[in-house]
Amino acid sequence: MAAAGLSIFSAAGVAAFQFGFSVDDIEGEGWRADGIAISLNETAVDHYAVAITVANLVLPDSHGTLEGLRLECPDVSRDGSGWLCEHGRVQIQASPIQAQEATWQGNYSDDGRLQITIPRLAVAQGTVALELNANDGVWSAQLRPHRTKIARLAALSGQLVLPTDWGIEGRASGLVKLGGGPAGLESVDADLVFDQLAYASPDGTQAAEKVVIKTELRGRVRKALWRFDATLAWPSGAAYAEPLFIDASDGPVTLSLSGSWSPQQARLQLDGGSLELSGTAAVSATGLFQGPGLAPKDLTIAMHSDDAGRLYGRLLQPFLIGTPADDMQVAGHVGLVLHFDAQGMDQAGLEIKDLALEDRQGRFVLDHTDGSIGWDRSEEVPVSRLAIAGASIYRIPTGAFDIRVRFAADRVDLVGPVVVPVLGGSIALDRFALSGALMAGARPKWQASASLRDVSLEELTRTLEWPPFNGSLSAQLRELNYVEGLFSVGGGLEFSAFGGRIEVSGLSIQDPLGTVPVLKADAIMRGLELEALTQTFAFGRIEGRLDADMRGIQLVGWQPDRFDLHLYTPQNDDSRHRISQRAVENLTELGSGVPAGLSATVLSVFDEFRYDRIDLRILLQGSVADLDGLARPDGGYYLVKGSGLPRIDVIGRNRSVAWKDLVERLQQIQVEGAQIK
């Protein structure tokens, strides 16, 4: 401390004692005062008027400067064993917390106890009542803020840095009790209410409106270890922290935390933490955080929800926006336990009860599902089991099935085959391996092999509202792959239908759950029985066998976009070849756009005709289909080349037709009241 220009005067007259004292400036570590004057005037026996003025007081730790400080008490009186001031005044012309003019009371007892009360200080556009007590190094303080502006309080604290361009509003009121001793702060008790809380970041990703927060905090320090107990209730208002939106009117939010905090070791022990989102989820946590960034060293978080729909809507869906899972209806019960160590999450467990998902776009449904899933970062964990009451993909429903899988590191492996009843038959998933789905930044991909057994084509086509097929589908799907949005089937799909054999190869679907899935495949059909086929399509009866080659099939958005289809009578087919009058009419119309008009001719007396060969080629390229058949020297092409008598040939003359016209012609074909859809 340094002092310069000290002056003292005193006058001890007969009537009263007067004492004056001034100091030009005093400096200490981090603070400085100048223009100091102290006066003491005896007004009566044991009654004194005291005034202390300081022109400038520079506060430590960059807390600013008090200018024009005047602390006075017109009557400091002797009261038994101490001194008392009941009507003190304090004036500060300028300070970081604005100019002040306040009253104060104080007393000091001979045994060293000091008490000062300032009932009303103007702080942060509100008021703070202050009471200080000290006795032999032990002190306590009570602050009662009332409607103080949070942003200004934060600025005053010098510790809490709030964004300046968020327009932060809000007020703090309540009671804060601090206690300490020679070593410093030892206890904190705070009951505070923050109301009218609102802010908006310029980019709109962080915002709050009319939020009310009630907090209670108890903290005690012993041997440099703080033990704390805190609760926070959020009864009203709404906040958006991208991508989460929480509106307390949907159910209040409460948080409670208890544990210990060692500032010296930068060590936070959370003995009990709970977060309750009323009606949505309850979360509890215990753990240890240590290090400069308080990284979790050993943290367990458990979550439970009896309303998975609200859990999805309030907390999960916002993170899924832009994925196929961002528009679902969800119901059921979910429990989740996560464990983190210093390297991050190392264990996870999920319990599901009566969980049901339904994509609002109608792409997939998962019926009531029960089960438990365990995951471990490094060790193998017990088998996860899911029991699914039913599901559907693109309206194709399945029966109930069970899944047993093992989740470990970034892999998911099937423990046993999954047999899914579907359309009167089954799909058996023999092998399934998923990788990259559970680690941030990794690209998910999966491989599988499956077999289809006795899947009813009739049910499949009816479900998809296609022309009905008879027969059943059995196939070995060896190399099912999904990588970066492309689902592909290595190996082939073979099945029997219409008495013949159909082989599909090169099947792939790009973006299967996207707006416009693109399916590609090749198919060959051998020895189809035309009688069964034509009855199915209500086309008019044709007998004989038919082969077909369908190359470069491309469906875009499940609609035909490209293919090269060749339908033809197999060489050396010795089956009976007959075509009905109706079929001739329909084929003629298909090939030329006009009916043959047989019913108006003498040929109308014949129900059917013999034919030698059928040959039709349709090359679809976008919106245009090119038609062709057997070469005919006199122009046009044979769709049906007749034989015997009466001989009838169906000759096509259109070489190119708009695909939509061709589809319309097919749809117009009617036989005995049936219509092709």
Partner 1 sequence: MLNRIIGLPLMVLALTACVTINIYFPAAAAEEAARTIVRDVLKSEPQEQTPPAKPDDKQSYTPQGHPLAIAFGVMMEALVAPAQAAQADININTAAISAIRASMQKRQSRLAPFYRSGVVGFDNRGSVTIRDLNAAALGERNQVKKLVADENADRAKLYSEIARANGHPEWEAEVRGTFAKVWVQEALPGYWLQDASGGWRQR
Closest CA to 598 of 579, 585, 611: 585
Residue from 61, 111, 165, 203 in contact with partner 1 (CB under 8 A): 203
Instruction: Establish if 515 lies at the interface with partner 1 (CB under 8 A).
Output: yes
Instruction: Establish if 240 lies at the interface with partner 1 (CB under 8 A).
Output: yes
What is the pattern of x (binds partner 1, CB under 8 A) and - over residues 610-629?
A: ------------xx------
d(CA 578, CA 444): 54
Q: Which is nearer to partner 1, 46 or 242 (CB)?
A: 242
Give the residue carrying structure tokens 């308080």: 294
Instruction: Establish if 656 lies at the interface with partner 1 (CB under 8 A).
Output: no
Instruction: Establish if 514 lies at the interface with partner 1 (CB under 8 A).
Output: yes
Q: What is the DSSP letter of 458?
A: H
CB 196 within 8 A of CB 170: yes
Please state the closest distance from residue 305 (CB atom) to partner 1, in A: 19
Q: Which is nearer to partner 1, 162 or 244 (CB)?
A: 244
How many residues bind partner 1, per CB under 8 A?
Answer: 34
Please state the closest distance from residue 142 (CB atom) to partner 1, in A: 37
Instruction: Establish if 560 lies at the interface with partner 1 (CB under 8 A).
Output: yes
The token duo for 284 is 């509890």
Beta strands in 460-499 (DSSP E): 472-483, 486-490, 493-497
Q: Which is nearer to partner 1, 39 or 317 (CB)?
A: 317
Strand pairing report for 267-277 and 244-247: unpaired
d(CA 547, CA 563): 16
Q: Which stretch binds partner 1 (CB under 8 A): 76-84, 314-322, 397-405, 579-587?
A: 314-322
What element of type H or E holds 639?
Answer: strand 637-642
Residue from 5, 163, 202, 644 in contact with partner 1 (CB under 8 A): 202
Instruction: Establish if 242 lies at the interface with partner 1 (CB under 8 A).
Output: yes
Please state the closest distance from residue 306 (CB atom) to partner 1, in A: 23
CB 61 within 8 A of CB 52: no
Please state the closest distance from residue 506 (CB atom) to partner 1, in A: 19
CB 635 within 8 A of CB 653: yes
Distances (CA, A) of 220 to 133, 180, 187, 269, 447: 18, 10, 5, 14, 57
Instruction: Establish if 318 lies at the interface with partner 1 (CB under 8 A).
Output: yes
Strand pairing report for 578-580 and 630-631: unpaired
Please state the closest distance from residue 245 (CB atom) to partner 1, in A: 6
DSSP-H helix ranges across 371-481: 457-463
Q: Which is nearer to partner 1, 302 or 624 (CB)?
A: 624
d(CA 656, CA 535): 27
Helix axes 659-668, 581-592, angle to 10 degrees: 160
Please state the closest distance from residue 322 (CB atom) to partner 1, in A: 4
Instruction: Establish if 556 lies at the interface with partner 1 (CB under 8 A).
Output: yes
Instruction: Establish if 205 lies at the interface with partner 1 (CB under 8 A).
Output: yes
CB 628 within 8 A of CB 637: yes
d(CA 196, CA 47): 48
Residue from 57, 69, 207, 584 in contact with partner 1 (CB under 8 A): 207
Instruction: Establish if 661 lies at the interface with partner 1 (CB under 8 A).
Output: no
Instruction: Establish if 519 lies at the interface with partner 1 (CB under 8 A).
Output: no
Phi, psi dihedral angles at 666 (to 5 degrees): -60, -40
Instruction: Establish if 169 lies at the interface with partner 1 (CB under 8 A).
Output: no
Q: Which is nearer to partner 1, 314 or 617 (CB)?
A: 314
Q: Which is nearer to partner 1, 202 or 344 (CB)?
A: 202
Strand pairing report for 364-376 and 401-408: parallel
d(CA 512, CA 340): 35
Residue from 98, 135, 378, 559 in contact with partner 1 (CB under 8 A): 559
Please state the closest distance from residue 499 (CB atom) to partner 1, in A: 31
Q: Which amino acid is at 228?
A: F
User: Which H, E and C letters describe 213-276, residue by residue?
Assistant: EEEEEEEEEECCEEEEEEEEEEEEEEEEECCEEEEHHHCCEEEEEEEEEECCCCEEEEEEEEEE
Residue from 3, 162, 224, 321 in contact with partner 1 (CB under 8 A): 321
Q: Which stretch binds partner 1 (CB under 8 A): 200-208, 290-298, 450-458, 544-552?
A: 200-208
Instruction: Establish if 165 lies at the interface with partner 1 (CB under 8 A).
Output: no
Please state the closest distance from residue 516 (CB atom) to partner 1, in A: 5
Residues 6+ apart with CB under 8 A from 639: 587, 588, 590, 591, 614, 615, 616, 629, 630, 650, 651, 652
Instruction: Establish if 667 lies at the interface with partner 1 (CB under 8 A).
Output: no
Instruction: Establish if 243 lies at the interface with partner 1 (CB under 8 A).
Output: yes
What is the pattern of x (binds partner 1, CB under 8 A) and - over residues 210-239?
A: ----------------------------xx
Q: Which stretch binds partner 1 (CB under 8 A): 22-30, 33-41, 405-413, 514-522?
A: 514-522
Instruction: Establish if 557 lies at the interface with partner 1 (CB under 8 A).
Output: yes
Please state the closest distance from residue 63 (CB atom) to partner 1, in A: 34
β partners of residue 565: 550, 618
Phi, psi dihedral angles at 208 (to 5 degrees): -145, 150
Q: Which is nearer to partner 1, 265 or 656 (CB)?
A: 656
Residue from 75, 189, 191, 247 in contact with partner 1 (CB under 8 A): 247
Residues 6+ apart with CB under 8 A from 676: 467, 537, 538, 539, 666, 667, 669, 670
Q: Which is nearer to partner 1, 294 or 658 (CB)?
A: 658
String of DSSP letters for 594-637: S---GGGSGGGG-SEEEEEEEEEEEEEETTEEEEE-EE-TTSSE
Q: Which stretch binds partner 1 (CB under 8 A): 103-111, 137-145, 172-180, 198-206?
A: 198-206
Q: Which is nearer to partner 1, 31 or 245 (CB)?
A: 245
Which residues lie near partner 1 (CB under 8 A)? 200, 202-205, 207-209, 238-240, 242-243, 245, 247, 317-318, 321-322, 326-327, 514-516, 518, 556-561, 622-623, 660
